[in-house]
Chains A and B, each alone.
Chain A
Amino acid sequence: MDQIKKELKQPYTEYTLDMFLRSAGKDHAEIHQFNRWREEVIKAGKYTFEIPHLYAQKSEIEVQRITGEKYNLINFASYNYLGYSYHPEVLSSAKEALDTYGLGATGSPLLNGTFNLHKIFERKLAEYFGLEGYGVSLFSSGYGANIGVISAYIHKGEHVVLDRSSHASLFDGALLSQGKITLFKHNDIEHLEKVLKRISHENSRVLICTEGVYSADGDYGKVKEIVQVAKRYDAKVLVDEAHSLLLAGSNGKGVAEEQGVLEDVDLIIGTFSKSFAGVGGCLYAKEEIINYINYYARSRVFSCAIDPAVTGGLIKALELAGGSDGKIKRVKIKKNAKYFRSKLFGKVDIGTSETWIIPVIYGHERITIPLSDFLHKEGVDISLMMFPAVPKNKSRLRVFVTSEHSKEHMDKGADAILKAAKKFGFLLDD
């Protein structure tokens, strides 16, 4: 506990990022104050944000801090769930596409930025999901997919109903739509029903948004139950499968597949930055919706198409994930996640985690910076989430387990977390 007392005396631990969000005055005080804080953290040698990685996002990485110090770390901070960002077949497919199509798409997908490679990828994705009459719309990021789809689908005066734990891109999509935003308590179907009862008397569209796997909590969205309630109130359902596509469900189609409701979900969002290990996003929906979104989702129309090399790599990643490689890796990631959770369960607070995302709630945001520094020194890289991304006093480490971690990696990772928990006072029975 001495460590914590000493660290908490540092003035930079008193601040959280929300405090510099905006100032009421017309000068740029928030910019000035934020920079002052950042400089203090740097001066103390504790700055671990935006840390440059020197090689690929493998299970073992090398990073270099702003001070020039290099660290060899076990990587639990990357959502490269199936290791495809450095898979040799994915890379050679990307290189081939690069040689054929060049560096950038140099245009919006609606106008001149679409290559036959994009069309192949769309078709393969649609075949992978497999529903008759459905199609795919590609976006240059998962964030872009959420903001583009929600704001095209919902208009002023209509309703977006969001789980409280929703990702920022769902909130931002709702804001951009100018619809009325209503929140329900995380995964609380009874509360969702109360909300629907209250708002659905108005004759306007209601879109309920959930995530397949919640990115901050690591639990499954209750997609099946949401679909059932939605039907009763004539509401539509969007499922963001960012952290579940290629991972959940017997064929990796996501949580909607796992819970047997793929056909009942109106809009499925995927990202290519996680298990696909590239970049980009998509909507999977009925073809007529896809056609409309292609023209009216502004983040798609007014932004460049995914670059050819990445698209080439994504096609190969999909092929691998849809075959025996995917089957083996899905079993492996679930086994690894179960093992890692068992190493932590009962010793630290892992919240409601039941997947490959394992939060370790350490509570007070003031220890965030010293804790991140400590973990580096113990040889592990784990990202930290603090207020306002998560509630105050619910600041957390967020461990991403991949299919590529070995038992040794996980043992070392869990040991480092438990050592930190003891030092910083978040061990459960301390």
Chain B
Amino acid sequence: MTKRENIDLLVWNFDFALSTFYEIESWQVEKLLPPRIIPMEVTPGVALINITVFNFPEGGLGKLPEFQELILSIIVLPDLSRDVPKFAMYVISLSSTCQEHLDHSSDYYKLPSFKKLSFGNIDKKNINVEFGDSDGKILTMQNCNPQANYRNEKRYFQAFTTKNEVIYVADIYIRAKLFDHQQSGYTGKLFNHPFFKQLEVEDTEPVSYLQMIAAPNVLGQQIYYRPKKFI
């Protein structure tokens, strides 16, 4: 991977992505954000967190083996001077079944890498996942809408992050066959686990607000730019 370090974007091929946005009280997320980063509220007092799971097949990024990634972020106000994203995320926790990937994410993307996952089970057929590490189960997550209607899309997102008290922002494009829905239903369970930092998730049972799903086994691309200082 070292050869790539001087380039400004990396293209990641994935064959599975499941992303759920959950409602959560704004006060819970505000305490995790630096002063200039403000949560986006869907209604007053209600913010969103996002949990996204990816499966990267072998060779999805250079020489890395197949691995799974789990990302937790808070949905925040975007920087519209860059462009208008679908959503802007402030990443607060990142986990992966691949240690090399975690190290690279921390170094290149300035992401808050959490410890390595001990298991990441993905059932592509039924679109449900289960993740955990040596501290126990982190979550289960599943699609709750059986009528998926996938469409080829190119979407723009922004990812904010903080490292050594410096705020960074990166542009991300997703090119994939995607489907969004807001069907209410069972989307899985979040467990009390250090991965969630100080968010109380198990007892409050946050309700799902929106799910974004990529067609399983169809190769999608994540075009992820090197973060820049947010000024």
Identify the A interface with B (CB < 8 A).
15, 18-25, 27, 29-30, 32-33, 37, 164, 171-172, 174-175, 180-183, 388, 391-394
Tell me whether A20 and B80 are in contact in the complex, defined as CB-CB below 8 angstroms, given that A164-B43, A171-B43, A183-B43 are known contacts: yes
0/1 string, B67-85, CB within 8 A of A gives 1: 0000000001111110111
Is B181's CB under 8 angstroms from A393's CB?
yes
**Judging by beta carbons under 8 Å apart, are B78 and A181 in contact?**
no
Residues of B contacting A164 in the complex (Cβ-Cβ under 8 angstroms): 43
Partner of B44, one of A19, A174, A393: A174
- B84: contacting residue among A15, A172, A174, A394, CB under 8 A: A15
Question: Judging by beta carbons under 8 Å apart, are B44 and A30 in contact?
Answer: no
Residues of A within 8 A of B77 (CB): 21-24
13 contacts between A and B (CB under 8 A): A15-B84, A21-B77, A23-B77, A24-B80, A25-B79, A29-B79, A32-B81, A33-B80, A37-B84, A181-B44, A181-B45, A392-B210, A393-B180
Distance, CA A21 to CA B42, complexed state (A): 11
Q: Is B182 an interface residue (CB 8 A)?
A: yes
CB 8 Å contact bits of B1-37 with A (1 = contact, 0 = none): 0000000000000000000000000000000000011
Query: Known interface pairs A24-B88, A392-B182. Does A29 touch B80 (Cβ–Cβ under 8 Å)?
Result: yes
Q: Smallest Cβ distance from A39 to chain B, in angstroms?
A: 14
Q: Is the CB of A23 within 8 A of B45?
A: no
Cα–Cα, bound, A32→B83 (Å): 10
Shortest Cβ distance from A154 into chain B, in angstroms?
14
Give the top 3 A-B pairs by smallest Cβ distance, nearest first: A29-B80, A23-B80, A29-B81
Q: Is B37 a contact partner of A24 (Cβ separation < 8 A)?
A: yes
Chain B interface residues (CB < 8 Å from chain A): 36-38, 40, 42-46, 76-81, 83-86, 88, 160, 180-182, 210, 230
Secondary structure of the A contact surface, majority rule = mixed
In the assembled complex, the Cα of A21 lies from the Cα of B85 at a distance in Å of: 12
B46 touches A24 (CB 8 A): no
Are the CB atoms of A23 and B78 closer together than 8 Å?
yes
Contact between A25 and B81 (Cβ–Cβ < 8 Å)? Answer: yes
Complex: how many Å from CA A376 to CA B121?
Answer: 51
Q: How far is the CA of A15 from the CA of B85 in the complex (A)?
A: 9
Q: How far is the CB of B208 from chain A (nearest CB, A)?
A: 11
Chain B residues positioned under 8 Å from A20 (CB to CB): 80, 84
Give chain B residues whose Cβ lies under 8 Å from the Cβ of A388: 42
Shortest distance between the CB of B29 and any CB in chain A (Å): 15
Chain B residue, CB-CB nearest to A388 = B42
Residue of A nearest to B153 (CB): A14
Instruction: Kindly name the residue among A24, A32, A183, A391 whose own CB sees the greatest number of chain B CB atoms within 10 A.
Output: A24
Interface centre among B36, B45, B46 (most CB of A within 10 A): B45
Complex contact B84–A33 (CB within 8 A): yes
Add 4 more A-B contacts to A24-B79, A171-B43, A181-B44 (CB < 8 A).
Answer: A20-B80, A23-B79, A25-B80, A180-B45
- In the bound complex, do residue B181 and residue A24 qualify as a contact, i.e. CB atoms below 8 Å apart? no
- Alpha-carbon distance between A172 and B85 when the two chains are bound, in angstroms: 27
Closest beta carbon of chain A to B161's beta carbon, Å: 13
Q: Are A394 and B37 in contact (CB under 8 A)?
A: no
The answer to whether A171 touches B79, judged by C-beta atoms less than 8 angstroms apart, is no
- Report B91 CB to chain A, min CB distance, Å: 15
- Determine how close the nearest CB of chain B comes to the CB of A107; give it in whole angstroms: 32
Q: Is the CB of B46 within 8 A of A23?
A: no
- Shortest distance in angstroms between B75's beta carbon and chain A's nearest beta carbon? 11
Residues of A within 8 A of B88 (CB): 24
The reply to whether A24 and B38 form a contact with Cβ atoms under 8 Å apart is: yes
Min C-beta distance of A364 to chain B, whole Å:
9
Q: How near does chain A come to B153, taking the closest CB pair, in angstroms?
A: 9
Q: Are A24 and B44 interface neighbours, CB within 8 A?
A: no
Q: Are B36 and A24 in contact, with the CB atoms below 8 A?
A: yes
- Which residues from A are CB-within-8-Å of B84? 15, 19-20, 33, 37
The closest CB in chain B to the CB of A22 belongs to B77
Chain A: which residue is nearest B87 at the CB level? A19
Measured CB to CB, the closest approach of chain A to B42, in angstroms, equals 7
- Say yes or no: A27 contacts B81, CB within 8 Å: yes
Shortest C-beta distance, A179 to chain B (Å), equals 10
Is there contact, CB below 8 Å, between A171 and B44? yes
With the chains together, A74 CA to B14 CA distance in Å? 50
Residues of B within 8 A of A15 (CB): 84
Contacts of B76 in A (CB 8 A): 24
Nearest neighbor of A8 in chain B, beta-carbon distance: B151
Residues of chain A within 8 A (CB-CB) of B40 are 18, 21
State A368–B79 Cα separation when bound (angstroms).
25
Q: How far is the CB of B4 from chain A (nearest CB, A)?
A: 29
B83: chain A residues at CB < 8 Å are 33
Complex Cα gap A181–B25 (Å): 10
A20-B84, A24-B38 known; A392 vs B79 contact (CB < 8 Å): no
